[in-house]
Amino acid sequence: MKQNYIYSPALATGFKCKVPLKDACQLFIVNGKVQGGISPFVLDLKDGENLSETLQLISVRNEQHLGDLEYSEAFHFGKNSRGKVVMCSHTFSLDDFVTRENVNIILESGARAEFVVMQNEHNKAIHNAKFSIKMADHACLTLVFLSLHGGEINNTVTVDMNGEYSECNLGGLYLTDSTQLMNNTIDLNHFVPNCKSNQLFKGILDDNGITRFFGRINVAPGAQKTEAFQANHNLLISDKAKAYSKPQLEIYADDVKCSHGATVGRLNEMELFYMRTRGIPSAEARLLQQMAFAYEVLEKISNEELRERMQSLVEKRLRGEFSQCKNCSKNCC
Amino acid sequence: MLTIKDLHASIGDKEILRGINLSVNEGEVHAIMGPNGSGKSTLSAVLAGRESYTVTSGEVIYEGKNLLELTPEERSWAGIFLGFQYPIEIPGVSNVNFIKAAVNEHRKQKGLPALSAAEFLKLMRERMAYVEMDSSFSSRGVNVGFSGGEKKRNEIFQMAMLEPKLAILDETDSGLDVDALRIVATGVNKMRRPDNATIVITHYQRLLDYIVPDVIHILYKGKIIKTAGKELALEIEKKGYDWLINE
């Protein structure tokens, strides 16, 4: 399983990203098969290794493999290594897809990693993404989910903080319309003292969209000086959308700082009126409010170009347009 | 420019405006004064199109159009501006994006192209200077974390960007110290032209030292009980409203 990523220029042209990110290396996984490399995908960073380019993994499903598909990706960050990864998943045909993606991330002592996971599929696609994360001491992880489109998306994240002074930052933005279903299940385990975790999940729900957030923070006996925060906020745009939120704290240590908060609400009417008195039409004002709501999650993305691109995808999505990058014919990022 | 005839408005089943008559011409500054709860803010909200108020009877004609049929944004495009007594905070929407969206929408309605980034920046800098606003405000969320005075300056800055024909300033002086009051008033005066008009709603005479009105109206229990020249403000400052109410 020791295979570093390889950039393969010999890709089928149909899958080529026409507007790649600057300083990014792209790798395609088509129907679970790594293009130009060995499957399943493995990234193994040596101790002290610094990934100079952002690794962009573009997972695509198309009509060549219908029905169920399961594949995995493994990331091993050696001691004090650094890296940024963008994982995009797309469907290039409108068939019924069920995808099970298993992602394993291991951060050794002092490793720092940032993951942005963008899910942009279609209404008949079901995507179950399971993230298992293990963090050693002084490791630092940021993981941001952008669930833009999909019939059903289930993100299940388990984080085991096994070493002291590690820090885990989770973000999620989920947007639903029609009858889309999006669930985020987080299991965050503080097994040792002196670790920090932060979760921010936000949803904008239109039409008959349904979302669920189950977030559990477990502070094990003896995990003193833990700081664990969790927030889940949902904005309902229609009267029929439903957001379920279930925060759970299980704390077995007595010297910790922990908090959780969950809200389900509507757009603020006074803000709306204020904007309209300045001549901003109602629809545009609502969009500005939603973008402002979403931005708090997007802010977690440190790469400015990527953040701006994601922001524009979110804006297109909220406007009801196809979420695709400028100059690109595919619904890619 | 603006003619209000026998305007009645209520919130829920409570009638607040009980027959307002008012006429404002181009080039004029009108002040509306009155004790708390007399309906001053309701009048401004009704003119700006706030939906929680119901107009039960009467009419408002603005430049020959029935104002009450227009949405708040249509009123803005037609040149009406409301300066809020309590400006709203909009976290996450930056001041610059907010005002850019507003300015470009106004231009779109006039059939003009959106301003280029450079043109917009130039205009914004110039208008921020009207109210001595620091450029650091532009990147902050709309009114978020602004002091009372900064919020009011931001209102006048927005007014300067939108160049309204009729500005309604609802207690723009409340919560301002003397310096901020001078800055705000100077900003308003810079925008006075023979073809626009201002309605200033205030409790105190001191604002009217800076923004000198042509006419002063006293509103009480939803009706205008007296209309006179600017000297009326001084009389109220000395004697209060009681003598007018008892008249």
> Which residues does B contribute to its contact with A (CB < 8 Å)?
48-51, 71-73, 75-77, 81-82, 84, 87-88, 90-93, 97-99, 101-102, 105-106, 109, 141, 158, 162
- Tell me phi and psi for residue B27, to 5 degrees: 85, -5
**Could you say which of B75, B88, B92 has the minimum Cβ distance to residue A292?**
B92
Question: What is Dmax (Cα atoms) for chain B?
Answer: 58
- Give which of B105, B91, B104 is closest to B142, Cα–Cα: B91
Contacts of B51 in chain A (CB under 8 A): 273
ipTM rounded to 2 decimals: 0.95
Q: Can you give the pLDDT at residue A4? A: 41
Q: Is the pLDDT of residue A12 over 50?
A: no
- Give percent of chain A with pLDDT exceeding 90: 80
- Tell me phi and psi for residue A18, to 5 degrees: -80, -20
Asked if A281 lies within 8 A of B73 by C-beta distance, the reply is: yes
Give the strand pairing for A33-34 and A24-30.
antiparallel
**B101 alpha carbon, distance to own chain's centre:** 20
pLDDT band at residue A330 using 50, 70 and 90 as cut-offs: low
Mean pLDDT of all residues belonging to chain A? 91
Q: Is the pLDDT of residue A1 over 50?
A: no
Q: Look-up: residue for tokens 């005002």?
A: B99
Q: Which residue has the higher pLDDT, A10 or A22?
A: A22
Is A7 among the domain residues?
no
Tokens at residue A314, please? 């979110």
Calculate the CA dihedral of residues A261, A266, A267, A270 and round it to 10 degrees: -100
Tokens at residue A328, please? 């690109």
Q: Can you give the pLDDT at residue B228? A: 92
Tokens at residue B165, please? 């024909």
Is A105 among the domain residues?
yes
Q: Can you give the pLDDT at residue A94? A: 85
Contacts of A278 in chain B (CB under 8 A): 76, 98-99, 102, 158, 162
Q: Can you give the pLDDT at residue A279? A: 97
pLDDT band at residue A257 using 50, 70 and 90 as cut-offs: very high
Is A329 among the domain residues?
no
Each residue's pLDDT tens digit in chain B (247 positions)? 999 999 999 999 999 999 999 999 999 999 999 988 999 999 999 999 999 999 999 999 999 999 999 999 999 999 999 999 999 999 889 999 999 999 999 999 999 999 999 999 999 999 999 999 988 888 899 999 999 999 999 999 999 999 999 999 999 888 888 888 998 899 899 999 999 999 999 988 888 989 999 999 999 999 999 999 988 988 888 888 888 888 7
Is A331 among the domain residues?
no
**Could you say which of A271, A277, A280 has the minimum Cβ distance to residue B105?**
A280
Q: Can you give the pLDDT at residue A193? A: 98
SS (H, E, C) chain B: CEEEEEEEEEECCEEEEEEEEEEECCCCEEEEECCCCCCHHHHHHHHHCCCCCEEEEEEEEECCEEHHHCCHHHHHHCCEEEECCCCCCEEEEEHHHHHHHHHHHHHHHCCCCCCCHHHHHHHHHHHHHHCCCCHHHHHCEECCCCCHHHHHHHHHHHHHHHCCCEEEEECCCCCCCHHHHHHHHHHHHHCCCCCCEEEEECCCCHHHHHCCCCEEEEEECCEEEEEECCHHHHHHHHHCCHHHHHC
Is A275 among the domain residues?
yes
Residue of B nearest to A299 (CA): B92
Residue of B nearest to A295 (CA): B92
Q: Answer yes or no: are the C-beta atoms of B171 and B177 closer than 8 Å.
A: no
Is A6 among the domain residues?
no
Tens digits of per-residue pLDDT, A164-190? 999 999 999 999 999 999 999 999 999
Asked if A291 lies within 8 A of B84 by C-beta distance, the reply is: no
Contacts of A281 in chain B (CB under 8 A): 73, 105
Report d(CA A190, CA A197) in Å as an integer: 8
Calculate the CA dihedral of residues A71, A59, A216, A259 and round it to 10 degrees: 160
Report d(CA A87, CA A57) in Å as an integer: 5
Q: Is the pLDDT of residue A195 over 80?
A: yes
Angle, nearest 10°, between helix axes B178-190 and B117-130?
130
pLDDT band at residue A322 using 50, 70 and 90 as cut-offs: low
Neighbours of A324 (CB within 10 A): 19
Report d(CA A6, CA A267) in Å as an integer: 46
Q: Can you give the pLDDT at residue A13? A: 44
Which residues in A62-205 belong to E strands, given as ranges?
Answer: 67-77, 82-91, 97-107, 112-120, 125-135, 140-149, 152-161, 167-176, 181-190, 196-205
- Give which of A111, A31, A41, A114 is closest to A79, Cα–Cα: A111
Is A4 among the domain residues?
no
Report d(CA B103, CA B118) in Å as an integer: 14
Number of domains in chain A: 1
Asked if B158 lies within 8 A of A278 by C-beta distance, the reply is: yes
Neighbours of B139 (CB within 10 A): 10
How far the first Cα of chain A sits from its last, in Å, is 28
What b/e readout covers B34-70, taking b as 16+ CB neighbours within 10 angstroms? bbeebbbbbbbbbbbbbeebeeeebebebeeeebbeb
Report d(CA A109, CA A77) in Å as an integer: 9
Domain region containing A197: 13-319
Interface A-B, measured as beta-carbon pairs within 8 A, has a size of: 70
Q: Can you give the pLDDT at residue A7? A: 38
Contacts of B73 in chain A (CB under 8 A): 276-277, 279-282
Tens digits of per-residue pLDDT, A45-75? 999 999 989 999 999 998 889 989 999 999 9
- Tell me phi and psi for residue A17, to 5 degrees: -80, 125
Q: Is the pLDDT of residue A162 over 70?
A: yes
Asked if A279 lies within 8 A of B162 by C-beta distance, the reply is: yes
Report d(CA A266, CA A205) in Å as an integer: 10
pLDDT band at residue A321 using 50, 70 and 90 as cut-offs: confident
* For testing contact with chain A, the best of B74, B84, B105, B139 (most A CBs within 10 A): B105
* For testing contact with chain A, the best of B47, B86, B93 (most A CBs within 10 A): B93
Asked if A278 lies within 8 A of B162 by C-beta distance, the reply is: yes
DSSP string, A53-76: SEEEEEEEE-TTS-EEEEEEEEEE
**A123 alpha carbon, distance to own chain's centre:** 18
Asked if B92 lies within 8 A of A279 by C-beta distance, the reply is: no
Asked if A289 lies within 8 A of B158 by C-beta distance, the reply is: no
CA distance A164 to chain B (A): 34
Q: Is the pLDDT of residue A215 over 90?
A: yes
User: How many residues does this entry show for chain B?
Assistant: 247
Report d(CA B143, CA B170) in Å as an integer: 17
Is A295 among the domain residues?
yes
Calculate the CA dihedral of residues B108, B114, B115, B121 and round it to 10 degrees: 90
**If you ran DSSP here, which 8-state letter would residue A50 be given?**
B
Contacts for A240 with CB less than 8 Å, ≥ 6 apart: A207, A208
Report d(CA A81, CA B61) in Å as an integer: 70
The amino acid occupying position A117 is V
Q: Is the pLDDT of residue A214 over 60?
A: yes
The amino acid occupying position B121 is L
Q: Look-up: residue for tokens 């293009």?
A: A35
Q: Which domains does chain B have, with CATH numbers?
A: 2-88+148-246 (3.40.50.300)
Asked if B51 lies within 8 A of A279 by C-beta distance, the reply is: no
pLDDT band at residue A23 using 50, 70 and 90 as cut-offs: confident
